[in-house]
Amino acid sequence: QGAVIGIISERDVIKHVALHKSIGPKVTVGELMTTEPVTVEITSSCVSALSAMLDGKFRNMPVCREEKFVGILSV
């Protein structure tokens, strides 16, 4: 229905490989993704979004309009 339920980034993949030494062909996105990610509303300021990303130590953040995914913000 357009709601953000997770995000997968290179950090999620690297963490998995560090723990398991590889990614098997049956590993799913759902197993690797960060669930309930921090999101930003499209009307938020860029400075507040960047501040949230720096505080949370992540580089990618879903952008939403009324809780529906519309894009991604990346450092």
Q: Give the pLDDT confidence of 14-24 residue by residue, as tens digits.
A: 999 999 999 98
Tokens at 3, concatenated: 């709601």
| pTM, two decimal places | 0.81
Strands 60-65 and 40-41: parallel
1 pLDDT more than 90: no
39, 35, 38, 33: which is closest to 65 by C-alpha?
39
Q: Which helix (H) or strand (E) holds 58?
A: none
Q: Give the pLDDT confidence of 2-45 residue by residue, as tens digits.
A: 889 999 999 999 999 999 999 989 999 999 999 999 999 999 99
